[in-house]
Each structure stands twice: as C-alpha cells, then as structure tokens.
Amino acid sequence: ARLEAIAALLAAASASSQSPNVVVMLGAGVSVSAGIPDFRSPKTGLYHNLQEYGLPYAEAIFDLDFFRTNPQPFYRLCKELWPGRYQPTAAHVFIRLLHERGLLLRCYTQNIDSLESAAGLPRERIVAAHGNFDSASVVG
C-alpha cells in the first residue's frame, strides 16, 4: 500500500508532463535485499565464495577461455542465481508500479538476476548492462 501511495504521488507530480521521464538505475544493493549476495563483499560475496574453485582472478568466472577449461565455477554461480530462487523486493515492485502508471522511461540494471522481469516489468523497459538470465544464450 505504501508503494502504491508513492507511485500515485509521482503520477500526480508528473501530470503536466507529456511523456514518461523516470529513469531508474539499479546496482547490487537492490538484489542484496532479496538475499542475493553481491560479487565483492569480503567473506560473503560471490567472488569470495568461488575461490575454492581455484580461480586465477575473480573475474575468470566470466572468461570464456577459463570456462572451457573449468566450467564448474560458472555453473555454481548459475545455480546460485537461477531465476525463481529469489523473490523481487519492494524496490522491484515499485519500479513496476512506475511503469504501470506510465512514468517509467527505462530501468537500467547492473544485476543479472532478472528480478526486474520477475516483478512484472516488461523486457522492453529493462536495459541489463551485463546481461541477465532472461537473455542468456549458449556460447562456444
């Protein structure tokens, strides 16, 4: 109910506007609230948790050459982030409400968890800077 009230206020404030103009930019914090670990936090981040697989450097998990020699770290990450395991947060729902009220121009996200889509935000409103599970494809 609180999010509905905030979205209604935004709609009223934007009533004189001819076009939607709200742009949302999301980072790891919004997904951490859903229980998804971020990448870099000491002791709890995904990179830290994947070190047991002997990564030469943290970002190797996304390196195609490394994947070809050792795909296990990437598969573990996929299992950790697989859609349906986590639920959208109030922030994700709020963004959907902005869209439903005609206020949202675009939602830019650095997250790969697809929680924006899970909250009901249409794919055409989402720009996933690093890709996401909604648009993943097999390489190699």
Find the catalytic residue in 48, 92, 99, 130. Answer: 130
- Round to whole Å and give the CA distance between 138 and 86: 23
Separation CA 6–CA 131 (nearest Å): 29
Q: Under DSSP, is residue 62 helix (H, G, I), strand (E, B) or coil?
A: helix
Cα–Cα dist 93/129, whole Å:
20
Residue 48 falls in the annotated catalytic set: no
Q: In this structure, which amino acid lies at residue 86?
A: Y
Q: Are strands 22-26 and 104-109 parallel, antiparallel or unpaired?
A: parallel
Identify residue 15 by its one-letter amino acid code: A
Catalytic annotation, residues: 130
